[in-house]
Amino acid sequence: MSVLAHGIGSQHDLPLSPFYAFAGAFAALFVSFLALGLLWSASRFRGDRAGRPLPVALQRLADARSTRMAARVLGLAAALFVLLHLLLGPNGPEHNPAAGTVYVLLWVGLVPASLLLGPVWRLLNPLRTLHLLVCRGLGRDPAAGRPLPVHLGLWPAAAGLLAFTWLELVAPDPASSTALLLFFVLHGVVHLAGAARHGARWFDHADAFEVYSGLLARLSPLGRRPADRRLVLRSPFNGLDAVPQLPGLVATVCVMLGSTAYDGFSDAPSWITTVQTSPLGRTTAATLGLLAAVAFVATLYALCTGATRLISGQLRHPLTAFAHSLVPIALGYLVAHYFTLFVTEGPHTVMMALGADNPVPPEPPLTPGGIATLQVAAIVIGHVLGVVAAHDRSVRLFPPARAVAGQLPLLALMIAYTIGGLTLLLA
């Protein structure tokens, strides 16, 4: 069942006119850019300071010891379920729900879960729970440990995301029990060793799934103010504005974008032929393709932010200053590429986990035209949100006379990403 390893399969021949899709996307980007330039002259986002506090009863329920313990038990139970099926179950996604649990319920399911509930993997993470239990058994503070190096940032998470997407999109047999066991054993050893050395804060910076969930959760209407730890309802733009400008942030988001882009063209007949006939071998050629996709996304971003720095004349850290604007774009790509997979293979995996013998996946809830419209809308809306986030940051950082001009390279970047995303979707 290769669909588990390659998203929703073929995107080609969708019943939607490419002309209208591109025209609508360009119109949305240009109109939003012009409107922002004319009407939005001062920064309106306040990051973690913004938000309306939730009722105290909801706050107590969310922070209750029983709630957190239930989430940790659920995460451990799910990890044990996958581990036992990988060790004892049949080898193959047709009869073993482990691969679907990992690639669909975990990887894709974290997207809606994080958008609705915030950074949920922080509570569900079985490795964080294991570290907590070991520390309690040893009488040690889970937060105790050596300080994390300042330059470390999110680089381990970026590497972990790249490793997982390589497993998903490039590995010869990504759904096999052996491949999944090897990945998660290495993943567990690395992160438990890191937490033993640096304390629980290691997971905040290094665990790929926690960082992935945390970045997507920045667009959730639920947030938590660091000053008083209150749960608040907020504009997703305020959550996005509060993304920490850490080393490795750009790499992490570019892996999210580049790997999804590679997933989009990896099923093209021309690429399949190239990979299968390459003298380097299929796996090496596909690996180079994945790395090239990530590098291409990162290079475009670096060039445009470099041009923005030249125009503004005073931006010290252009790469991280606007990296938050790439998060909604990554979300749009994820929705466009994985919506059908989640709504069909998700219930199929659940039915298998409950004991059904080779159940039939449900039909998608939308018609082909509806799915195509949703996918194009997700990409376009993601880019428009990125334009808004970049504009608000630019009017905060740049002199008024250069605020709009400084955004032109970023607008060009959004247009380039939009062309690429829609081409992969509709070509």
Nearest to 1 by CA among 139, 138, 96: 96
The residue type of 267 is: D
pLDDT for residue 140: 92
CA distance 390 to 397: 10
CA distance 327 to 304: 16
Nearest to 383 by CA among 70, 112, 95, 27: 27
pLDDT for residue 14: 56
CA distance 332 to 371: 14
Contacts of 243 (CB under 8 A, 6+ apart): 215, 218, 249, 323, 324, 327
Kindly report the length of the chain.
Answer: 427
Cα 398 from chain centre: 29
Nearest to 387 by CA among 365, 370, 408: 408
Q: How does pLDDT run along the chain (427 residues), one tens digit per residue?
A: 444 544 433 444 456 677 777 888 888 888 888 888 888 888 889 888 888 999 999 999 998 999 999 999 999 999 999 999 999 988 777 888 999 999 999 999 999 999 999 999 999 999 999 999 999 999 999 999 899 998 999 999 999 999 999 999 999 889 899 999 999 999 999 999 999 999 999 999 999 999 999 999 999 999 998 888 899 999 999 999 999 999 999 999 999 999 998 988 888 888 888 888 889 989 999 999 999 999 999 999 999 988 888 877 666 777 888 999 999 999 999 998 898 889 888 888 888 888 777 777 777 787 888 888 888 889 999 999 999 998 898 888 888 777 777 788 888 888 888 888 888 777 6
pLDDT for residue 169: 93
Burial class (CB in 10 A: 0-12, 13-18, 19+), 329: buried
Cα 82 from chain centre: 22
pLDDT for residue 369: 80
CA distance 249 to 254: 9
**3-state SS, residue 1:** coil
Give alpha helix (H) positions in 313-367: 318-321, 327-353
Beta strands in 234-280 (DSSP E): none
Contacts of 323 (CB under 8 A, 6+ apart): 243, 245, 249, 250, 253, 301
CA dihedral sign of residues 306, 312, 318, 323: negative
pLDDT for residue 10: 42
